[in-house]
Chains A and B, each alone.
Chain A
Amino acid sequence: MADAVFLAISVLTIGSAIAALEVRSLIYGSISLMGTLGGVAGYFLLLDSPFVAMFQIAVYIGSIAVLILFTVMLVRRQLIFFKVEDKRRRYAGVGLMLILMVALGTIILGSGIKTIQTDASPVNFRTIGEDFLTYYWPALILMALILASSVIGALTLARREDMENEQRTN
């Protein structure tokens, strides 16, 4: 059975996930998204993986959420509160969500993982570092290249050519 900390983190995570999608203002939405990401980091701490939790906080709350917040601020004011959606499509979406939850839930509850428990000691995070630098080093280098290329790609996409040409003519 789950303990109180788990339940509190569950309420925080799922509640702020719903709020992130449903709150009228995009700014409050992105702040609730931070709540969801922080809640998932809390789950990682409960699962005895502090390294992943710290990585989650540093990457998600520290960079992604701030990036999203800045992008939201670049958008015009009316669009921040912009919320057009089909009524029928919305009901269909809620139905899809409930069907998915019930179906996957019954499948998972009917499977064997219901009884899985562990008394094993948690994995030491030194093992993760060793894995990264021994067996997974090609993947690590590839990941670094992907990150660099995505940053370059994002900068190239967001560049304003018209403004640069104007400055050059001036």
Chain B
Amino acid sequence: MSNELIDFVIVSIALLAIGIYGVSVKRNAIRMLFAIEIIINAANLNLVAFARYIPNSKGQTFALFSIAIAAAEVAVGLALIIVAYRMYKNIDIAEFRSLKG
């Protein structure tokens, strides 16, 4: 293999940093969901890369579980966004303040 482990890890770090930027800066709820997806993908990439270079099948198994759980998370997250949109007529998370003390 011409690619080394470090290449994949560096790409994964870049994706993680972009995702954290999105979560911390964006106020649009759907865009925050995009950022969370990007972070989850960075984690999966790390799992599969390390599993390839050990080599071991456990990392791939864990990545498959992680992808399935991410699907569940997105379904619930989008439902929450739809409910919040129905209540506030907005998807700006700064406007969702009925739980604010």
A residues near B, CB below 8 A? 1-3, 6, 10, 13-14, 17-18, 20-21, 26, 29-30, 33, 36-37, 40, 43-44, 46-49, 51-52, 55-56, 59-60, 63-64, 67-68, 71-72, 74-76, 79, 82-85, 89-90, 92-94, 96-98, 100-101, 104-105, 108-109, 113-114, 116-125, 127-128, 131-132, 136, 139, 143, 146-147, 150-151, 153-155, 157-158, 160
Chain B residue nearest to A16 (CB atoms) is: B38
Q: Is the CB of B11 within 8 A of A10?
A: yes
Query: Contacts A1-B2, A26-B28, A44-B48: A136 and B76 contacting too (C-beta < 8 A)?
Result: no
Kindly state the separation between the CA atoms of A34 and B1 in the bound complex, as whole angstroms: 27
Point out the residues of chain B lying under 8 angstroms from A60, CB to CB: 37, 41, 67, 70-71
B residues near A, CB below 8 A? 1-11, 13-22, 24-28, 30-31, 33-35, 37-38, 41, 44-45, 48-49, 51-53, 55-58, 60-61, 63-65, 67-76, 78-83, 85-86, 89-92
Q: Is the CB of B26 within 8 A of A64?
A: no
CB distance from A147 to the nearest CB of B (A): 5
Q: Is the CB of A26 within 8 A of B30?
A: yes
Point out the residues of chain B lying under 8 angstroms from A105, CB to CB: 10, 13
Q: Is the CB of B11 within 8 A of A96?
A: no
Kindly state the separation between the CA atoms of A39 and B43 in the bound complex, as whole angstroms: 14
Kindly state the separation between the CA atoms of A74 and B7 in the bound complex, as whole angstroms: 39
Contact of B38 among A36, A75, A84, A108 (CB under 8 A): A36
Main secondary structure of the interface of A (DSSP, over half): helix
Point out the residues of chain B lying under 8 angstroms from A123, CB to CB: 51-52, 55-57, 60
Give me the 3 closest cross-chain CB pairs, A-B, nearest first.
A93-B25, A150-B72, A154-B79
Kindly state the separation between the CA atoms of A72 and B29 in the bound complex, as whole angstroms: 11
Query: Contacts A67-B78, A85-B27, A123-B56: A14 and B15 contacting too (C-beta < 8 A)?
Result: yes
Q: Is the CB of B82 within 8 A of A158?
A: yes
Q: Is the CB of A113 within 8 A of B92?
A: no
